[in-house]
Structure 1
Amino acid sequence: MSIDDYLQAPESKTLDFKQDLSSPRNLLKTLVAFANTAGGRVVIGVEDKTRTPWGIDNPLEEEERLCNLIADSISPRLVPNVEMTTVDGKTLLVVEVFLSNSRPHFFRAEGPDAGVYVRLGSTNRQADRELIAELRRSVEGVSFDEMPMPDLSSDDLDITAAQKAFGNNRLLDEQNLLTLKLLTRHQKRLVPTQGAILLFGKERTRHFADAWIQCGRFFGTEKIDIFDHCEIDGPLPQAVDEVMLFLKKHAFRGADLSELRRKDVWSIPLGILREVIINALVHSDYSQRGAPIRIVFLDDRIEVESMGILLPGLTIDDMKQGASRIRNPVIARVFKELHLIEQWGTGVRRIFAEARELKLPEPKIEEIALRLRFTIFLAEPHAITPDTGKAHPKHASLDTTPQVTQQVTQQVTPQVTQQVTPQVTPQVKRLLTSAVGELSRAELMRAIGMKDRVTFAKNYLEPALAEDLIEMTQPDSPTSPTQRYRLTENGRMVMERM
Structure 2
Amino acid sequence: MTKEELVTRLRDIEWDDFEVKAAKSELPKNIWETVSAFSNCSGGWIVLGVKQLGKSFEVSGVDNIEKLEQDFFGTLRSKKFNVPLFATLHRYEIDGKNIIAFYIPSSEVKPVYFGSLENTFIRMGSGDQRATQQEIMSMIRDQSFGVQSQKSIPDTNIDMLNRDALADFRGEVRHWGLVSHLDSVSDEEFCKGVGITDHFGQLTFGGLIMLGKNPYTFNFVPTFCADYVEIPGVGVEAMTNNYTYRIPEQQNLWEASRVILRRLRTLVNTPMVGINERGQSVEDFSEYNILREAMANQMAHADHFSPRRSCIHVFDDRIEFLNPGGMPMPLDVMENSFESQPRNPVIAKLFRLAHLSENLGYGLRKLKRWQEITGRPMHIETTINSVKVTFDFQTRESGTSDVAKNVAKNVAKNVAKNLTERQQQIMTLISKNPQTTRAEIASVIGVSAKTIERELVTLSEIVHYVGSKKGGHWEIITY
Instruction: Name the TM-score, length of structure 2 as normaliser.
Output: 0.73
Distance in 1 of aligned mates of 2:194 and 2:14:
42
Task: Find the aligned partners of 2:14 and 2:291 in 1 and give their Cα distance.
Answer: 30
CA gap 1:166/1:62 in 2 versus in 1, 3 angstroms: same
Q: Describe how 1:8-407 pairs up with structure 2 within 5 A.
A: 8=11, 11=14, 14-19=17-22, 24=28, 26-44=30-48, 45-47=50-52, 50-60=55-65, 61-70=67-76, 71=78, 73-101=80-108, 103-104=109-110, 106-111=112-117, 114-117=118-121, 119=123, 125-126=131-132, 127-135=135-143, 137-138=144-145, 143-167=147-171, 169=174, 170=183, 171-184=185-198, 190-203=201-214, 204-226=217-239, 227-234=243-250, 235-249=252-266, 251=267, 269-290=287-308, 292-311=309-328, 314-323=329-338, 324-361=340-377, 363-368=378-383, 370-378=385-393, 380-385=394-399, 390=402
Structure 1 residue 415 corresponds to structure 2 residue 433: no
Give 1:192 deviation, angstroms: 0.9
> What is residue 8 of structure 2 aligned with on the other side?
5
- 1:35 and 1:229 mapped to 2: Cα distance? 42
Partner SS for 2:89: strand
1:183/1:191 contact within 8 Å kept: yes
Structure 2: distance between partners of 1:107 and 1:461: 65
Paired residues of 1:298 and 1:382 also in contact (CA < 8 A): no
Write the distance in 2 (CA, Å) between the matches of 1:10 and 1:257: 49
Q: Deviations over 1:79-102 (max 9, x none)?
A: 31233323344443311123445x
Using the TM superposition, give the Cα deviation of residue 340 of structure 1 relative to its aligned residue in structure 2, in angstroms: 1.2
Supply the distance in 1 between the matched residues of 2:464 and 2:149 (Cα, whole angstroms): 36
- Is the alpha carbon distance of 1:53 and 1:221 closer, same or farther for their aligned partners in structure 2, counting shifts above 3 Å? farther
Q: Distance in 2 between matches of 1:76 and 1:326?
A: 25
SS in 1 for 2:313: strand
Corresponding residue SS for 1:190? coil
Q: Which amino acid aligns with 1:52?
A: F
Q: 1:14 to 1:149 in 2, by over 3 A?
A: farther
Which range is displaced more, 32-41 or 176-185? Answer: 32-41
Alpha-carbon distance between aligned partners in 1 of 2:471 and 2:115, rounded to the nearest angstrom: 60
SS of residue in 2 equivalent to 1:279: helix
Q: Does the aligned pair in 1 maintain the 2:158–2:202 contact within 8 Å? A: yes
In structure 1, C-alpha distance between the alignment counterparts of 2:298 and 2:374, rounded to whole Å: 22
* Cα distance in 2 for residues equivalent to 1:238 and 1:264: 25
Residues 68, 366 of structure 1: CA spacing in aligned structure 2 closer, same or farther, 3 A cutoff?
same
Deviation string for 1:15-57 (max 9, x for gaps)? 3344559995653233234334433222232417524134345
Check the 8 A contact 2:19/2:46 in 1, yes or no. yes
Quote the offset at 1:275 in angstroms. Answer: 1.6
Q: Distance in 2 between matches of 1:56 and 1:152?
A: 64
Aligned residue number for residue 449 of structure 1 = none
1:159–1:119: structure 2 CA closer, same or farther, 3 Å change rule?
farther
Residues 222 and 298, structure 1, Cα contact 8 Å, conserved in 2 = yes
CA distance change for structure 1 residues 416 and 315 in 2, over 3 Å: closer, same or farther? farther
- Distance (whole Å) between structure 2 residues aligned to residue 18 and residue 172 of structure 1: 64
Q: What CA distance in whole angstroms lies between the structure 1 residues aligned with 2:154 and 2:368? A: 41
Question: Would the aligned equivalents of 1:427 and 1:459 in 2 still touch at CA under 8 Å?
Answer: no
Which residue does the alignment assign to 1:485? none
Q: Secondary structure at the match of 2:291?
A: helix
Q: CA deviation at 1:13?
A: 5.5
Unmatched segments (≥5 aa) in structure 2: 175-182, 416-422, 433-440
For the Cα contact (< 8 Å) 1:131–1:288, is it kept in 2?
no
Find the residue that maps to 1:108 and give its secondary structure.
coil
The one-letter code sitting in structure 2 at the alignment partner of 1:374 is V
Instruction: Give SS of 2:52's match.
Output: coil
- Cα distance in 2 for partners of 1:67, 1:50 equals 30
Q: Which runs of 5+ in 1 are unaligned?
A: 392-408, 419-424, 445-452, 470-488
Q: Does the Cα contact within 8 Å between 1:256 and 1:265 map onto a contact in 2?
A: yes
What is the letter of the counterpart of residue 32 of structure 1? S
Seq. identity, %: 19
Q: Give the number of aligned pairs.
A: 421
CA-CA distance at 1:293 after TM superposition? 1.5
Distance in 2 separating the partners of 1:201 and 1:493: 33
Matching residue of 1:448: none
Return the letter of the residue paired with 2:113.
F
Which amino acid is the alignment partner of residue 390 of structure 1? D
The equivalent residue for 1:401 is none
Q: Distance in 1 between matches of 2:156 and 2:341?
A: 29
Alpha carbons of structure 1 residues 215 and 161: separation in structure 2 relative to 1, 3 Å: closer
Q: Give SS of 1:305's match.
A: strand
1:110-145 CA distance string (max 9 Å, x none): 14xx4555556655545433531422x35xxx6110
Whether the 8 Å contact between 1:53 and 1:87 is mirrored in structure 2 is no
- 1:176 and 1:146 map into 2 onto residues whose CA distance is 16
CA distance in 1, matches of 2:190, 2:288: 33
Report the Cα distance in structure 1 between the residues aligned to 2:371 and 2:264, rounded to whole angstroms.
18
For residues 53 and 493 of structure 1, the distance between their equivalents in structure 2, rounded to whole angstroms, comes to: 73
The change in CA–CA distance for 1:254 and 1:3 in structure 2 (over 3 A counts) is: closer
Once the two structures are TM-superposed, the CA of residue 410 in structure 1 deviates from its matched residue by 7.9
CA 1:341/1:33 → structure 2, altered by over 3 Å: closer, same or farther? same
Q: Which moved more, 1:32-41 or 1:253-262?
A: 253-262
Aligned-partner Cα distance in 2 for 1:78–1:182: 37
Quick one: structure 1 residues 239 and 367, their matched pair in 2 at CA, closer, same or farther if it must change by over 3 Å?
same
User: What CA distance in whole angstroms lies between the structure 2 residues aligned with 1:491 and 1:232?
Assistant: 29
* Paired residues of 2:32 and 2:114 also in contact (CA < 8 A): no
Counterpart-to-counterpart distance in 2, 1:493 and 1:210: 40
